[in-house]
A = this chain, B = another copy of it.
Amino acid sequence: MCRWMGWLGQSVLMDELLFKTQHGIVDQSLHARMGAEPTNGDGFGVGWYGAGEGPGVYHSVAPAWGDENLRELAAHIESPLFLAHVRAAIGSPIQATNCHPFRRGRWLFVHNGFIADFHRLRRDLMLAIDPAQFADVRGSTDTEVVFHVALTLGLESDPIDALERTVGLIEATAREHGVAAPVQATFGVSDGTCLWAVRYASEGPARSLFASADVDTVRRLHPENPRLQRLSEGDRLIVSEPFADLPGAWREIPEATAVCARRGGVLEERAFVPRVEAPATVA
């Protein structure tokens, strides 16, 4: 189990959201409430858009709660769009190359959940990766493979469509191997302009996922909270579990649903329907 959050909005010092909220993602590394386990101490990562070419990424195998560098970076890097992830490893090694967000070019990718029996599916799924990208897989998590399959299936053109094909392909592969309920996932994706998120499980309840309500509502609900009064139109958070100091300010993203947060506060929602289908762009 893991926890992640994404921010799209005004440019903020990252610690405003990582450390200064009451039950932010770093606190969730030690005290998660809605996950299978309270502890997400097997490394973490942050990916942010700001100065320089494409997103920057910081990965560490230390628990987020105790990493002094994370405090420093969060207090000194401003970003209008970033993703943070705290990891609870289930089987794969605790190493930076297994920490989220994963990146290619302008794209970042995070995942909470798992591919069931990944050990048995890994080879077939890696064979679904564009051979030219095969050697870019540097770690050993399910998520990195999912990301590269999705890239192969067109994530950079249409991320939700590519993830539907990817999940469809994983489910088909799982069926061949007799693996039940293979996908348990919330995904977060960004290219630096939008923030996409998916909530889906092959079977049973999917991992929790929430979006912040529109800013007007949030401000009206909490007139006493100066942090919330500073929110502006178009600020949007997507999180595995709500921050405690924003009660009532969250809406749960339904199961089997994808959302897309765009600049200006737009939050589009659509059904997420996995399917097996060769993408047009791959021979």
Contacts and interface: CB of A to CB of B under 8 A. Distances in A.
Interface stretch (A70-78, A153-161, A247-255, A264-272): A70-78
B60 A62 contact: no
Given A62-B62, A122-B134, A135-B119, A68 B96 contact: yes
B140 A134 contact: no
Tallying the copies of this chain within the complex gives 4
Nearest to A89: B66
A49 B61 CA distance: 26
A69 B62 contact: no
Interface stretch (A37-45, A196-204, A225-233, A237-245): A37-45
Contacts of A89: 66
Interface stretch (A51-59, A168-176, A181-189, A273-281): A51-59
Given A39-B30, A59-B69, A95-B96, A131 B123 contact: yes
Interface string A88-108: 010011111100000000000
A49 B253 CA distance: 40
B62 A76 contact: no
A52 B39 contact: no
Nearest to A118: B135
Given A63-B63, A75-B52, A96-B68, A138 B135 contact: no
Interface of A: 13, 15, 30, 38-39, 41-42, 48, 50-53, 55-63, 65-66, 68-69, 72-73, 75-78, 89, 92-97, 118-120, 122-123, 126-127, 131, 134-135, 137-140
User: 9 closest pairs, A vs B, by CB?
Assistant: A56-B76, A52-B76, A123-B134, A95-B95, A119-B135, A122-B135, A51-B78, A138-B140, A52-B75
28 contacts: A15-B52, A30-B39, A38-B38, A39-B39, A39-B41, A41-B63, A42-B63, A42-B66, A52-B75, A52-B78, A55-B76, A56-B72, A58-B69, A58-B72, A61-B62, A62-B62, A63-B63, A66-B89, A69-B69, A69-B96, A73-B73, A77-B77, A92-B138, A93-B96, A93-B97, A95-B95, A95-B96, A123-B135
